[in-house]
Structure 1
């Protein structure tokens, strides 16, 4: 297992209040009350967002065609795709991948910001920034030569989102925000041949408007099954 003192910051404790800014209709709210994390994310006071029922209800998927990364790392540049699951899996890899030996904390944050939607009323940048160690911790990790890679496996739409959209199929057409749960493994290495790996899961909010490439909205405070 990775050294705990140098692990990624606690996702749940620091994002629980950051994702309370997306409003959905009363029908969708009722459908999501059983999952506290999703409810926290979907109670914003600005514009409706809702669940996705199935891949057939998604925007017409386009074959992912990743742009050429500026620095040779495919985890840095968002893929140009209209498929929420494809995008969420790529975004998850970016969130779980870092290298303190060659990148500063500031640059790492700048790389992640490129994944965000430019619609301010939906973008929850704090929930993304909270996944990154503080500048002080990053410096300690750099002293330890810590770096991490990620292997992303399965991605799916949580059951609560599928149920919510089934109850109100038109609710998705306001914000086109989808929840996607992704599972995989993060491998961490540090100096003196130290290594560790752990299975991880996360639920992301992804915006995929028709005829537009998907963009990241935020990270939910808890994993939705």
Structure 2
């Protein structure tokens, strides 16, 4: 029980901590203190669902569905490009989209839709969370559900720390230039991931 649980926790954290579209969005919302609980819950719950599906064997089906992966890659790349361009505009010309350097308030609906899109339209999520975690978890036999629980707990711990812990950085973001730097980094991450998705077609 303990071995697969810790293995799932460690692997889950190692996959999720790397900077990506989802993490960048959670960080930005955490810094702005906007709908953080909702965003953390959506990201953690989505990961738990994807991990469970992977343990159930969905990873094998995804690997066989080449056409579906192509559609998801293109859709994900388009969304990430749009989000990255908006971040780049905020970084280059903060007043182009709104007058607040931190950005205009994000509605709950927009935040939820964005969190869902950044999670479910990202093919890397399926390849890492469903295929990789699912295939490794399957090697634990009857302990695979403990592995899944450990990986899901890793997601909960990470998103909670990132979303609610990022407020400790708020003094740094009291200056408008810090928001411009953050938006520039987010733009690079989003557009970089979009490019990698298209190059992988």
TM-score bin (small chain): 0.3 to 0.5
Superposition TM-score, scaled by structure 1 size: 0.33
Higher percent of residues as helix = 2
With CA pairs under 8 Å and 6+ residues apart, which has the higher RCO, 1 or 2? Answer: 2
Query: When you count strand as a share of all residues, which structure comes out higher?
Result: 1
